[in-house]
Structure 1
Amino acid sequence: MGDVVENKEWYVAAYCPEGVPTSDHLKLRTVSLSLASDSIPDNHLAVETLLLSVDPFLRGTITGTVEGLFISQYELNQVLTTFAVVRVIRSKDSNYSVGDLLLNGYGLVAEYSIVPSSHIIRKIDTSNGISLSDYLGSLGVPGFAAWLGIEVLGDPKPGSNVFISAASGAVGMNAGQLAKIRGCRVIGSTGSDDKVRLPFISSTF
């Protein structure tokens, strides 16, 4: 790989206050990105994106208003960010080496990027046979949120009833499975009948 790459990235072209975002709101562009060593600040990494997590919170970041939100709005022309599995291709941090697979908590929705090592959540151990995608699901933020709600806060006892709202979401599906493992009777709700009929929902509850 050369020192300069033609890098594809998704950015916010226009706000979408209502409805489903389209290609009028989110656009793809190609920009030149230097991966040369002197272009990477200390305690930063040059990484290649392998997997991205498309989470519901992203919808709220492109409405153009901060009313009622706990997260910041994107600026126009800003590249989207989300959780990502990345591979290190150059490193300016002695804690990380070329080839390391990492879970990035603030990954750019782009093929390549320069990221602060402080954004890295964890290294990924490839010897355990766990799928990389699981680090964005059951072993990522959705799984952790579900574990916190069921195992730490809820602490349901075997035989008890557990109600899961938004059961078709990533957190809800994990929460329902954790409750069933505990021997609970799990009841889930979704926003539509179509979601109820999804195969992975009917098999979870």
Structure 2
Amino acid sequence: MPMHPLSRFVFAAACAAALAGCATTANVPLANPTAQVSAYRDTIDLSGRLAVNYLKDGQPQPISGNFTWTQRPGRIDVALFSPLGQTVAEITVTPGTATLKQSGREPRVEKDIDALTAASLGWTLPVSGLRDWLQGYAVDTAGKRFVASPARDSVVTNDGWRLRFVEWQNGPGGAPMPRRIDAERSTTAVGDALTIRIVIDPVA
């Protein structure tokens, strides 16, 4: 049965490998294994894989695919691809506007990315959080800025996500940056835990 377009969009958020075991490249020793991640950057270009697992009508719904993430001051562009390389969706986020484009559909525009995913899916994916997570940052339950490191690799966010930075790679300047991120959140909207695994391609 073909995947519904909105179901395909689920694997996005998280503005892309299966949950049972994402394939990863051989680990390269970290230049600074005890260091924190580098300072947050407004300009980044990343690509990788996402895998999402949730329940729909009591049945597991695993979805996976690839993504590119282009971030500039005041703008984020996310392109989402099926495992076969077909473009599934394109998301653009600017201050006050989030736009979803899917082939054969009129663009959908909402005031922000959380409202966009909620309107499209019926529940919210943490796309807004990804801009922090991908660089090893989050906001914890006390509202404080969390800065990850290989020695400090887990946090519960202020919106209920349990994050674990499972694998690391060398980033700009030799500082560690996330290679694999696991996120989980219990939500009544999908009846059980929603899990997301993100694997980021090696940074040139």
TM-score using structure 2 length: 0.24
**Between Structure 1 and Structure 2, which shows a larger proportion of strand residues?**
2
Structure having the higher Rg: 1
Structure number with greater CO (CA < 8 Å, separation at least 6) is 2
TM-score w.r.t. the length of structure 1 is: 0.24
